[in-house]
Amino acid sequence: MDPAILLIQCLNAVQYGLLLFLVASGLTLIFGIMGIINLAHGSFYMIGAYMAFALQPLVAQYLGGGFVLTVLVCVVLATVLGYFLEWAFYSYLYTREHLQQVLMTYGLILVFEELRSIIVGNDVHGVPVPSWLAGSVRLGDVMTYPVYRLFISLVCILVAALMFWVLTRTRLGMMIRAGASNREMINSLGIDINRLFRIVFAIGVALAALAGAIAAPVSSVYPGMGNAVLIICFVVVVIGGIGSIKGAFLAAMLVGFVDTFGQVFFPAAAGVMVYLLMAAILLFKPEGLFKH
Amino acid sequence: MTQTLLSAKNITRRFGGLTAIDNVSLDLKRGAVHAVIGTNGAGKSTLVSVLSGELAPNEGTIHLNQENITDWPQPRRARAGMGRSYQRTTIFPSLTVHENCRLTAQANHQHFWSWTPARRCMQSNEAADRALELAGLAGFRDQTAGLLSHGGKRQLEIAMSLSTHPTVLLLDEPLAGMGSEETDRMLNLLASLKSEHAILLVEHDMDAVFRISDEITVMVNGAVIAHGDPVGIKANPLVQTAYLGDEE
Amino acid sequence: MRFILRAILLLVLLALVLSLPSFATSYYLGLVVKIMIYALFALSLQLLVGCTGLVSLGHSAFFGIAAYFVTLLSPESGAGNMLWLLPGAILAAMAYAAVTGALALRTKGIYFIMVTLAFAQMAYYVFHDTALGGGTDGIYLYFRPEIRLGDWVVLNIDDQFVFYVFTLACLLLTWLFLALLMRSRFGAALTGIRVNEQRMRAAGFSTFKYKLIAYVIGCGLAGVAGFLYAVKDGYVNPELLAWEQSGLVLLMVILGGMGRLWGAVLGAVALTLLQEVFQSHALFGEFASRWHLTFGLAIIALVAALPQGLAGLPDQWRNRRRPKSISSASAQ
């Protein structure tokens, strides 16, 4: 394979993997800390993308801002939405069995999908790449690579680094990590667990929405995008081990590479490669690469 | 001639950096109760799990009736005559006492392809009856298991492990949470079972242990610090330090 | 006494169901057949969820594989032979179940839910992305298969009433099969595994074997439902394997009640009728096209309010009046 093409595919794989990590980390955090399996997590990705599409003209008109500002607005709104949803709905799920959580969040997906349909409609939309990111870089003699895709990877890496810093260097991060391994202890330490959960949930939602917003220019905005990403995220979490951020990162990169190169080498079986990877991992490590 | 039914040699089990069991060896002989005592976290429950097959040892071998069973999964060991009771009661609360035993007894008469209703399996019913008889629960046959007293549930736990006609019994704290009357009943039960079985008894109740055991192994921090008959163990200075030093 | 009451109730229901074709319109007849097919589908999942404790979110795959099997392998020029198409469809579903089940059953709890979902999605992609099943357009089944011995046509199910009775017979036979299965030693073992797998292993049961066999049987029965579905409308498309289907049938089992076998049937009836109601223009006017919203909200409310499902309502009511003695362990 031409080294330039190999490099392009590697960059694609990394970018896809990093996006997946953003969404999957929220999912695994929410499950690891709060014990909630949230089927509607993919919907937040979809909401982020649709928000980016719908709010862009508004942000341009009222705030005079461009793409970056739109994304920031999306993230802020998503955080507020997450905070509200936890209070209004998800807080009632803690005491319920996983099965009930699965089905109630399944119902929530239907609600979200229909609300989106009412508010924005069912059409497929494109989100334009901002002009200052619309160029390409040269790779070798003939090949070029879109700057925007590099931008996506950069944003994801920055967010991941930020996440790592928060988790390891701040009090909030310490509480989160403690909560992940021992929920009962947190309560007895006098930490307001309700607020902690609300914050964690809001962060999870914000991460998914951010991923959706910045992915929108490349993947376009379409109704089924949330569900598609959700199932892949499940695979990431199964491979990485539930509750483990490290695992989610490694697994997301693995999935990114398998999917990208799978499409290159086995285009007919492209959609299936990721599941075969999962099956292979299950043969040797049924509890994921990093047990929580 | 006392027959050694179960022989464990040089068992070591680690969890990451922690060595839960360090080079432990013990034998179980027919007609004898071998007690394993130790402080909390000494590795006693882990040892039982390794012997029963729930955990694989990192090093060491286990022989049942002179056969090497180190690689055998738990169900296979159970079918070969190993019975086990759990520290936390594992009965089926919504079934009756008799149904509980019949279900476990069924393990020896599985008959995948048979359409006969489970409740009419003659062999399982007989094995259950016998187990209830031995455990002294014959009078509670049709009682819902979840409604038994705590002592009754522990008795049922033993009955269930007896229903598969085991030769070796691994009992993990059968006296946990029992009052003195229930403890007496349980100890009489164990005494009556002794002759036909080889019994491993993990217990915290020292009086009970010294009353009923024939040999005792003392574990501290995963390693054996003493082994012998009850009299010798009581007098052993190492044991005294370990218990006096770590007693709450 | 209770037995006689139950028998009478069943006979009345049976009479009602059998007499329906004589006064119901074609639309409602089709609806009842659809309900019966979904009841069969839900019963097959009940074996996994309610009886063995295996929560699968990928059951639609087996429904779809069987549906595609019969559609792909039916001749275009005339009726195929059910004598091999039906068993073939079941075996196709079972084959996929055996392979994916052997892997999925290495996991537990939430992992199992996710893995079954993933394997179903894999099957979905096979039919969605490849030319095998005509892609997203789906394919048509032109002639309903018949039971044929040589030249003798034993049973032809083209007639709507005959197909109605045939579907009913399949449902009842499946129900009977599962009831007998759960009564047998195999079923008793499954119950034990559901309540406390560790204890069963300690007694000497190789629980993996039991779970895998139960899984394969349940998925094979889902294949029967898939077969009937394909034959009914003569059209299949990849959405049959979509996870929305898996979620829907799981809902039927949970809302109907996991504690009783017939909870699945009840759930299928309730949920299908609920969908019909929410899609009814007569009741909701314009909003009927937005039925996913009302349906989704209803799901949330029902799952929250009925932890034991509809079949568990009497128990739930009884426990509310009585102070908690023993916690409501799973019935049966």
DSSP C22-34: HHS-HHHHHHHHH
Whether chain A has a CB inside 8 Å of the CB on C304: the answer is yes
Structure confidence at residue B72 (pLDDT): 94
- C302 assigned to some structural domain: no
Choose, out of C177, C180, C183, C185, the residue to mutate when testing the contact with B (most B CBs < 10 Å): C185
Which chains are adjacent to chain C, needing at least 3 Cβ pairs under 8 Å?
A, B
d(CA A142, CA C327): 71
- C295 assigned to some structural domain: no
Burial class of residue A4, CB neighbours in 10 A (0-12, 13-18, 19+): middle
Q: Are A106 and C299 in contact (CB < 8 Å)?
A: yes
d(CA B51, CA B170): 8
- C265 assigned to some structural domain: no
Cβ–Cβ pairs < 8 A, chains B and C: 94
Name the stretches of chain A with pLDDT < 50. Answer: none
- C282 assigned to some structural domain: no
Whether B186 contacts B211, CB under 8 Å: no
Per-residue pLDDT at C331 exceeds 60: no
Structure confidence at residue A189 (pLDDT): 73
- C254 assigned to some structural domain: no
Residue of C188, C192, C326 lying closest to B146 (CB–CB): C326
Residue of C204, C213, C326 lying closest to B107 (CB–CB): C204
d(CA C178, CA C217): 10
Residue of C186, C188, C202 lying closest to B84 (CB–CB): C202
- pLDDT, averaged across chain C: 89
Per-residue pLDDT at C58 exceeds 80: yes
- Cα distances (Å, whole numbers) of residue A157 to A7, A22, A68, A177: 18, 9, 16, 21
Q: Are C189 and B106 in contact (CB < 8 Å)?
A: yes
Residue type, A96: R
- A197 assigned to some structural domain: yes
Q: Which chain B positions have a beta carbon within 8 Å of C199's beta carbon?
A: 86, 90-92, 104, 160
And the tokens for A209? 């929405």
Whether B199 contacts B33, CB under 8 Å: yes
Please give, one letter per residue, the 3-state secondary structure of B48-80: HHHHHCCCCCCEEEEEECCEECCCCCHHHHHHC
Whether chain B has a CB inside 8 Å of the CB on C188: the answer is yes
- C277 assigned to some structural domain: no
Compute the nearest-CA separation of B73 from chain C (Å): 9
- A213 assigned to some structural domain: yes
And the tokens for B154? 């522990």
Domain count, chain C: 1
Angle B215-B221-B224 (CA atoms, 0-180°, nearest 5)? 30
Grade residue C332 by pLDDT with cuts at 50, 70 and 90: very low
Compute the nearest-CA separation of C322 from chain B (Å): 15
pLDDT per residue as tens digits for the range A125-153? 888 888 888 888 877 777 788 888 989 99
Whether chain B has a CB inside 8 Å of the CB on C187: the answer is yes
Q: Nearest residue of C to residue A35 by CA position?
A: C110
Name the stretches of chain B with pLDDT < 70. Answer: 1-2, 243-248
Domain that holds residue C102: 26-243
Choose, out of C100, C117, C330, the residue to mutate when testing the contact with A (most A CBs < 10 Å): C117
d(CA A16, CA A232): 11
Whether chain B has a CB inside 8 Å of the CB on C295: the answer is no
pLDDT per residue as tens digits for the range C248-275? 999 999 999 998 899 999 999 999 999 9
Domain count, chain A: 1
Q: Nearest residue of B to residue C330 by CA position?
A: B94
* C132 CA to centre of own chain: 25
What is the per-residue burial (b if ≥16 Cβ within 10 Å, else e) of C108-135? eebbbbbbbbbbbbbbbbbbbbeeebbe
- A138 assigned to some structural domain: no
Q: Are B90 and C180 in contact (CB < 8 Å)?
A: no
d(CA B20, CA B42): 7
Structure confidence at residue B247 (pLDDT): 47
d(CA B22, CA A267): 53
Per-residue pLDDT at C34 exceeds 90: yes
Structure confidence at residue C2 (pLDDT): 76
- A192 assigned to some structural domain: yes
Structure confidence at residue B239 (pLDDT): 82
- A104 assigned to some structural domain: yes
Structure confidence at residue A4 (pLDDT): 79
Q: Which chain B positions have a beta carbon within 8 Å of C198's beta carbon?
A: 54, 86, 90
* C84 CA to centre of own chain: 22
> What is the pTM assigned to this prediction?
0.90
- Among A245, A280, A36, smallest CA distance to C122 is for A280
Q: Nearest residue of A to residue C58 by CA position?
A: A231
Grade residue C48 by pLDDT with cuts at 50, 70 and 90: very high
Structure confidence at residue B244 (pLDDT): 57
- C94 assigned to some structural domain: yes
Judge A/B contact: 3 or more CB pairs < 8 A.
Answer: no
- C252 assigned to some structural domain: no
Q: Are A282 and C115 in contact (CB < 8 Å)?
A: yes
Between C75 and C98, name the one with better pLDDT.
C98
Whether chain C has a CB inside 8 Å of the CB on A117: the answer is yes
- A129 assigned to some structural domain: no
Terminal CA-to-CA distance of chain B, rounded, Å? 42
* Strand partners for B117: C184
Which chains are adjacent to chain B, needing at least 3 Cβ pairs under 8 Å?
C
DSSP A91: G
d(CA A165, CA A78): 22
Percent of chain C residues past pLDDT 90, beyond the cut: 62
Residue type, C236: V
Structure confidence at residue B245 (pLDDT): 52
And the tokens for A83? 């905070």
**Residue B195, C-beta contacts closer than 8 angstroms, at least 6 positions apart:** B31
pLDDT per residue as tens digits for the range C206-230? 999 999 999 999 999 999 999 999 9
SS3 B26: strand
Q: Are B78 and C192 in contact (CB < 8 Å)?
A: no
